[in-house]
Structure 1
């Protein structure tokens, strides 16, 4: 179990299933985290989510420290070739916790963990065009756009690009150094 100023990161437990189902059944969330159809998800259709839990290098349920309320989840997934030390970052937060700075707190912790403790060389992610809140967050953390897969996903009646973003370990070190110097 890990903590930041306001959040606890812990392992998935069977008792978290209802919270994860709630997250995956909220169209404001699931629209932006799946390429699949937006349909109600029940326990029988939960295989893909559990596959991510099992295949992640680190899958964390995120809770508020003070209230122990479920905020969402975050994951670091391995790439196909371990020798390249690439990792993929993922995050999903319940809407009632949006606009509180939790996304940045989670992202900073997970990216730092990937570089400092998992010896990643780069951390990547993908985000759908139109998810401006997430894109702004990722840029604040230090991710840069690396490319696009054009018109890959159908969202709300139109085609959207899949945006590829990444950050390298040496870029992360510089960002942390700059942040320390600014806080002095």
Structure 2
């Protein structure tokens, strides 16, 4: 059987990305985005470290486009974009996203970006745990995967703390400052998450 001919089990997957939850931890709250978040996210996206490890500068990105983007996140039925809020001061410090949902394999891609005021205090780690837990426990995902640059050890430590496992490396896959950088592939499975959370209890 060709993969394209495989049956569609999306009805049975139980995933409902149309519900945009608020998820609360000890240090962070994850909540749906609004258009009013665009200006803060504009500042965060312009941070040099975010640009270095997330995406190259793009002249097509404008504040107006960002307003439109965040105004429509809550209407997306096949992905989940949540704002990361620092509980200590109520400040928006970044985002976590489950996207590229494949209903047949019950797989999502995870990505995150945390601005400078949210770093170094465990906010990104907790935010990652919250949305990953939601993905497995509420959306019925089987697998959550991600990619990161090989010269981003801080992000890799966060993902390993949460339980992600390195599956492979694309060697010298991206140009960087006159040289090349690896792309690291990581993933976490539902049964691995269940084992980790059972141990933590």
Instruction: Show structure 2 runs of 5+ residues with no match.
Output: 1-21
Aligned residues: 177
1:75 aligns with 2:94: no
Asked whether the 8 Å contact 1:150–1:162 carries over to 2, the reply is: yes
Shift of 1:47: 9.3
Name the SS for the 1:134 alignment partner. Answer: helix
1:64 aligns with 2:86: yes
- TM-score normalised by L of structure 1: 0.86
Task: List per-residue Cα deviations over 1:8-37 (Å, max 9, x = no partner).
Answer: 111111111111111111111121112xx3
Higher relative CO (Cα under 8 Å, sequence separation at least 6) belongs to 2
> Which residue number in structure 2 is paired with residue 42 of structure 1?
62
Instruction: Show structure 1 runs of 5+ residues with no match.
Output: none
- Cα distance in 2 for partners of 1:30, 1:55 equals 28
Higher-Rg structure is: 2
Q: Pairwise CA RMSD of aligned residues?
A: 2.3
Name the SS for the 1:136 alignment partner. Answer: helix
Q: Identify if the C-alpha distance between structure 1 residues 6 and 94 changes in structure 2 by more than 3 Å, giving closer, same or farther.
A: same
Asked whether the 8 Å contact 2:94–2:114 carries over to 1, the reply is: yes
Asked whether the 8 Å contact 2:86–2:123 carries over to 1, the reply is: no
Q: Which one of 152, 159, 171 corresponds to residue 138 of structure 1?
A: 159
Asked whether the 8 Å contact 2:174–2:181 carries over to 1, the reply is: yes
